[in-house]
């Protein structure tokens, strides 16, 4: 297992390079990522290329055994380019160009930008072609599905719509443009969502398509780059470092043609006081692994307190630097690269802390990082192991977009719905995959499909098949609401899922932040909030009823046998305790190995190969705790055999054994 660092030779006096490389070698750093923002040094003047400084940096690092990830520098074009082509910068919602001198500000469709972007990628990749130390290429940096409103982007958007719908009549009909007299009579009238109106004022069908287009448009930019890299650098794997941003692309399409997923992982360093907050960083890691349904990399990993974009955050507590990297391994990362080697001493990112402080004196965080590197070196036996899960949670960017376009009620967020279930399964030490909503579900026993609000025929069919063949499915409120165009379905909710869940929604009550009670059929009582679907059963049995309001006594949760399987419908949003109770029942019912009594914050995941299982036991809390193991298991680092473990805060133990139950 490999640990790496993000390094910026161009930020430092050359005298430091050798010293840094020596220390990296001594520490056990195996991978160094370079150059994602260094265009102005690689092409200081139009058409004058200089890779000599980067060659020197690469020589210094590789002569000490480090492998290199090189990045295309297209995130930050040099100022000479903007001077010559001011239109290469994005146009904002107000129709004006955004400011030069920040980053990520180039327009993916601007012909001048693209001409120069292609040329620098071409030059860079042919210069480094065949260099055996380059083990991967990263495209750009933290790409977003940008909303640019320039003439090129407007015309791309129109082309995207022409391709999808063919004629204006079809668009008018599909979007229901007659509402508020919005029917198009010429293509020129189609404009992206300019102006300062909130999204919620705009046509939801149009807005969903605009989000889909913005994602496809970013992906086109990724494809342009990967084609050049592959042409010149053959089999060197290509990735892009993704993250959870404002305008998220469709992750599955983004990585379809790339070799592996890489993710920027910055777990929060302040422990939330509110225990209802979903804070396990494992959620994001599981989602990343699910994108290509295989192991991934972390390309930027927490190294110190965050800052620069915001007031500085709390310093990572002792144990977090090492613990959160090992947590990434536990969830399927094979390489973790820390951002960044040293805190920047100049420039906009000055307060985002690196492993070494600006003083250049290695301190507490660095020593913890050293310890991490030594540990990672001893983990060769888990290389190639994979995570197998019986449980999957479905994610879809259509839902994410649609919920943002039309928030359903106060406090209800799509991601919160997914996190609620992830948190509950994690609490029982169960591996969870978060996967594309449209993939094959055959290998799972339990599938949670939170709020399938925008429906899709293939997905609906998949879910029916899954349950028919013996799977257990959990659906939630706001399912079946919209068709694929983000228009209401004119049927009783949950429309296409009514037969599967054996119930219908006769009415609903969006209660926002208010709280009510629900009673489970076993007598236990829980709090619900945000939304209440008032259910009427057809073939389902009642699992819980409402305790308050005009629908007191009416079904809130139902359970329906369908084919060989079972479909649950949760018509409301619970507090953590509700999901915990329900998930425990479902895990037991489905006979899935789990832990009933893990202390708060403890996570257990399993990586395995044909012969062995490795249990990663992690304390994601600031309190020491004891974990009882049902079997004796062996610590792969110390050789000690345990059936009871004392874990310090953020402590990770990797234990080997056949089965924990
Ligand atoms: C990341 C980004 C890095 C760096 C870091 C902290 O999101 O990819 O380039 O900017 O944030 O500032």
Question: Which residue from 239, 241, 339 has its CB within 8 A of the most atoms of ligand 1, so it is best to mutate?
Answer: 339
Task: Mark whether 376 and 445 lie in a shared domain.
Answer: no
Which residues have CB under 8 Å from 440's CB, separation 6+?
462
Look at residue 176 and tell me if it is in a domain.
no
Q: Examine residue 472 and state whether it is found in any structural domain, yes or no.
A: yes
Do you find a cis peptide bond into 389, omega within 30 degrees of 0?
A: no
Residues noted as catalytic: 142, 300
Instruction: Judge whether 523 lies within some domain.
Output: yes
In the predicted model, is pLDDT for residue 32 greater than 90? yes
Ligand 1 centroid vs 470 CA: distance in angstroms? 45
Is there a single domain that holds both residue 435 and residue 547? yes
Check whether residue 364 and residue 445 sit in a common domain.
Answer: no
pLDDT digits (tens, 9 = 90+) for 308-354: 888 999 999 999 999 999 999 999 999 999 999 999 999 999 999 99
For residue 402, count other CB atoms closer than 10 A to its CB: 25
Distances (CA, A) of 296 to 1, 140, 285: 12, 18, 9
> Distance, CA 306 to ligand 1 centroid (Å)?
10
CA of 366 to the centre of ligand 1 (A): 19
CATH number at residue 430: 3.40.50.880
How far CA 580 is from CA of 240, 380, 597, in Å, comes to 36, 35, 12
Q: Show the DSSP H helices in 102-193 as ranges.
A: 111-128, 151-165, 168-175
Look at residue 386 and tell me if it is in a domain. no
Same structural domain for residues 452 and 561? yes
Model-wide pTM > 0.95: yes
Please tell me whether residues 497 and 584 are part of one structural domain.
yes
Ligand 1 pocket test, pick from 74, 75, 141 with the greatest ligand atom count within 8 Å of Cβ, gives 141
Between CA 440 and CA 610 the distance in angstroms is 23
- Residue 349 Cα: closest atom of ligand 1: 12
Residue ending a domain, choose from 360, 381, 402: 381
pLDDT tens figures, 582-610: 999 999 999 999 999 999 999 999 999 99
Residues 227, 126, single domain; the answer is yes
Q: Token digits for 144?
A: 């977003």
Q: What is the pLDDT of residues 64-82, one digit of tens each?
A: 999 999 999 999 999 999 9
157 Cα to the center of ligand 1, angstroms: 29
For 190-229, give the DSSP string: -----SS--GGGS-HHHHHHHHHHHHHHHHHHHHHHHHHH
Residues 6+ apart with CB under 8 A from 83: none
Let me know how long the chain is: 661
582/626 same-domain check: no
Mutate to test the pocket of ligand 1, among 138, 352, 354 (most ligand atoms within 8 A of CB): 352
pLDDT tens-place string over residues 453-488: 999 999 999 999 999 999 999 999 999 999 999 999
Banded model confidence at residue 659, pLDDT cuts 50, 70, 90:
low
**550 plus 630 within the same structural domain:** no
CA–centroid distance, 378 to ligand 1, in Å, is: 29
Which residue, judged by its Cα, is nearest atom 8 of ligand 1?
142
* Domain residue limits at 370: 2-147+217-381
Residue of 38, 72, 143, 264 to test ligand 1 pocket, by largest number of atoms within 8 Å of CB: 264
How distant, in Å, are the alpha carbons of 102, 354, 426, 501, 559 from that of 471? 50, 46, 20, 13, 13
374 and 280: one domain? yes
Nearest residue (by CA) to ligand 1, atom 10, is: 349
Residue 661 reports pLDDT greater than 80: no
State the average pLDDT over residues 542-556.
98
Q: How far is CA 615 from CA 382, 423, 520, 608, 612, in A?
A: 11, 18, 34, 9, 10
What is the torsion angle, in degrees rounded to the nearest 10, for the CA atoms of residue 416, residue 194, residue 159 and residue 175?
A: 60
What is the model's pLDDT at position 99?
A: 84
Query: Does 443 fall in a domain?
Result: yes
Pocket of ligand 1 (CB under 6 A): 141-142, 264, 300, 308, 339, 349, 352
Q: Whose CA is nearest to atom 6 of ligand 1?
A: 352
Does residue 31 belong to any structural domain of this protein?
yes
The pLDDT score that the predictor gives to residue 195 is 81
CATH of the domain at 81: 3.20.20.80
CB-CB contact of 654 with 379 (8 Å): yes
The count of structural domains within the chain is: 3
* DSSP helix/strand/coil, 249: coil
Q: Which residues contact 18 (CB under 8 A, 6 or more apart)?
A: 60
Q: Please indicate, yes or no, whether residues 496 and 625 belong to a single structural domain of this protein.
A: no
360: pLDDT strictly greater than 80: yes
Q: Which atom of ligand 1 is nearest to the CA of 309?
A: 12
Tell me the β-bridge partners of 48.
45
- Residue 184: inside a domain: no
Lowest mean pLDDT among 69-73, 146-150, 503-507: 146-150
Instruction: Write the pLDDT tens digit of every residue in 181-206.
Output: 999 999 999 999 988 777 778 999 99
Which of 49, 52, 59, 106 has its CA nearest to residue 79? 106
- Give the separation between CA 378 and CA 360, rounded to whole angstroms: 28
333 Cα–ligand 1 center, Å: 19
**Last residue within a domain, chosen from 346, 381, 416:** 381
- Quote the percentage of the chain above a pLDDT of 70: 99
Structure tokens of 15? 């005298």
pLDDT value of position 473: 98
Sign of the Cα torsion 185, 188, 192, 196 reads: negative
**Ligand 1: nearest atom to the Cα of 308:** 12
**pLDDT tens digits, 226-235:** 999 999 999 9
Residue 101: pLDDT band (50, 70, 90) is confident
* Domain end residue (candidates: 589, 606, 626): 589
**Does the pLDDT value for residue 276 go beyond 60?**
yes
The average confidence (pLDDT) of the chain is 96
Over 60: is that where the pLDDT of 578 sits?
yes
641: CATH? 2.60.40.1180
Could you tell me if 320 and 265 lie in one domain? yes
Whether 625 is covered by a domain: the verdict is: yes
Q: How far is the CA of 101 from the centre of ligand 1 (A)?
A: 16
What's the 35 CA to ligand 1 centre distance in angstroms?
13
Same-domain check for residues 362 and 229: yes
């Amino acid at each position: 297992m490999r640990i790496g660092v993000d390094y910026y030779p161009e930020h430092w006096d050359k005298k430091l390079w050798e010293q840094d490389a020596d220390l990296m070698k001594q520490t056990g750093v195996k991978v160094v990522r370079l150059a994602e923002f260094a265009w102005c040094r690689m092409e200081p003047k139009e058409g004058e290329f200089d890779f000599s400084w980067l060659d020197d940096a690469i020589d210094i690092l590789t002569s000490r055994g480090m492998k290199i990830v090189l990045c295309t520098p297209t995130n930050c074009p040099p100022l000479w380019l903007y001077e010559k082509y001011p239109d290469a910068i994005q146009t904002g919602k107000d129709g004006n160009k955004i400011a030069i001198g920040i980053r990520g500000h180039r327009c993916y469709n601007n012909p001048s930008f693209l001409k120069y972007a292609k040329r620098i990628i071409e030059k860079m990749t042919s210069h480094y072609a065949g260099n055996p130390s380059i083990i991967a290429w990263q495209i750009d940096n933290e790409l977003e599905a940008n909303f640019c409103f320039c003439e090129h982007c407007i015309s791309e958007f129109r082309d995207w719509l022409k391709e999808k719908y063919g004629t204006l009549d079809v668009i008018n009909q599909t979007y229901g443009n007659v509402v508020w007299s919005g029917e198009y009579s010429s293509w020129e009238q189609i404009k992206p969502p300019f102006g300062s109106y909130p999204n919620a004022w705009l046509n939801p069908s149009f807005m969903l398509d605009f989000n889909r287009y913005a994602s496809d448009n970013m992906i086109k930019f990724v494809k342009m780059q990967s084609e050049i890299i592959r042409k010149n650098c053959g089999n060197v794997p290509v990735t892009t470092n993704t993250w959870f941003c404002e305008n998220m692309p469709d992750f599955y399409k983004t990585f379809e043609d790339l070799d592996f997923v890489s993710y920027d992982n910055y777990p929060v360093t302040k422990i939330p006081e509110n225990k209802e907050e979903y804070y396990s960083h494992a959620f994001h890691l599981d989602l990343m692994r699910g994108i290509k349904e295989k192991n991934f990399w972390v390309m930027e990993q927490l190294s110190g307190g965050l800052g620069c974009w915001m007031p500085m955050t709390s310093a990572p507590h002792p144990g977090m630097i090492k613990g959160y990297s090992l947590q990434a391994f536990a969830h399927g990362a094979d390489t973790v690269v820390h951002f960044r080697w040293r805190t920047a001493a100049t420039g906009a990112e000055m307060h985002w802390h690196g492993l070494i402080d600006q003083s250049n004196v290695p301190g507490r965080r660095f020593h913890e990082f050293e310890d991490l590197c030594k540990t990672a070196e001893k983990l060769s036996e888990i290389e190639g192991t994979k995570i197998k899960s019986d449980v999957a949670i479905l994610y879809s960017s259509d839902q994410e977009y649609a919920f943002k376009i039309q928030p359903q009620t106060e406090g209800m967020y799509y991601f919160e719905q997914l996190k609620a279930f992830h948190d509950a399964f994690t609490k029982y030490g169960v591996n969870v995959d978060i996967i594309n909503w449209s993939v094959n579900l055959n290998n799972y026993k339990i599938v949670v499909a939170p709020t399938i609000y925008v429906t899709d025929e293939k997905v609906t069919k998949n879910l029916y098949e899954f349950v028919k063949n013996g799977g257990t499915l959990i659906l939630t409120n706001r399912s079946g609401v919209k068709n694929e165009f983000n228009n209401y379905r004119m049927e009783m909710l949950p429309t296409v899922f009514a037969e599967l869940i054996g119930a219908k929604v006769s009415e609903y009550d969006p209660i926002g932040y208010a709280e009510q009670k629900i009673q489970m059929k076993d007598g236990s009582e829980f709090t619900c909030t945000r939304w209440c679907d008032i259910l009427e059963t057809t073939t389902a049995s009642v699992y819980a009823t409402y305790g308050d309001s005009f629908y007191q006594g009416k079904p809130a949760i139902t359970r329906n046998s369908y084919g060989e399987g079972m479909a649950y419908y949760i018509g409301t949003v619970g507090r953590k305790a509700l999901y915990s109770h329900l998930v425990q029942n479902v895990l037991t019912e489905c006979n899935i190995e789990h832990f009933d009594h893990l202390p708060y914050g403890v996570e257990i995941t399993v990586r395995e190969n044909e012969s062995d299982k490795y249990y990663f036991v992690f304390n994601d809390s600031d309190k020491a705790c004891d974990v009882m193991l049902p079997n004796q298991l062996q610590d792969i680092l110390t050789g000690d055999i345990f059936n009871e473990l004392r874990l310090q805060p953020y402590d990770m133990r990797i234990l080997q054994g056949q089965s924990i139950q």
